[in-house]
A = this chain, B = another copy of it.
Amino acid sequence: MYDLLIGNIKELVPLTEDESRLIQNYFEPVHLKKKQFLLQSGESSNHMRFISQGCLKLYNIDELGAEYILQFGISGWWLNDLYAYLTKKPATYFIQAITESTVLQIHRDKLDELFDKSHMMDRFFRIKTQNGYVALQERTINNMSQSVEQRYLEFITRYRNIEQQIPQYMLASYLGVTPEHLSTIRKKLIGH
């Protein structure tokens, strides 16, 4: 179960045997059934989280009860309310399993300990966060400059594996449109 996690880290930085062992000791598995919450708005987010199996969503809910999906996460991705984690303030987001999932998570205290013990852990999260930042920048510019149709097409080709695990109305939320509108867009596309 930890192989995916260790492999994910070793893709970017070397780890000693000691470090690998520590990581395995510090990360704890959490199993979630479909629709179960890993984090709810208002709670504190004290763990850094790696998805071992399944599919989850990170979203928030506004005053009117509308849901906005900020991010999906699947096997091999990191997912968190990072603001709440870093500041220790109450979460503003929800993390919920879309399918049955397994998450490996490490408590902030343990991770900070790892950071002090291991230069490479700082480096790993530096690079990982830089990559995430770049991806989010690209999404931002795409949201500004492309039509919903283009963004839909890009999503389903780039993240086919995610698309296959989520209902269409969640993808609509992620893309920032209503499910009704996404449906009409798809209709137009089918007739070429």
Q: Considering the complex, which residues of chain A in the window 119-175 have a beta carbon less than 8 Å from any beta carbon of chain B? A: 119, 122-123, 125-126, 129-134, 136-141, 143-145
Interface residues contributed by chain A, number (CB under 8 Å): 30
Q: Which of the candidate stretches A38-46, A62-70, A182-190 sits at the interface with the other chain?
A: A62-70
Which residue in chain B gives the minimum CB-CB distance to A118?
Answer: B119
A82 at the interface (CB under 8 A from B): yes
**A134 and B70 contacting across the interface, CB-CB below 8 Å:** no
Cβ of A4 under 8 Å from chain B:
no
Q: Are A60 and B130 in contact (CB under 8 A)?
A: no
Using Cβ atoms and an 8 Å threshold, which residues of chain B touch A119?
119, 122
Bound Cα distance from A133 to B140, whole angstroms: 12
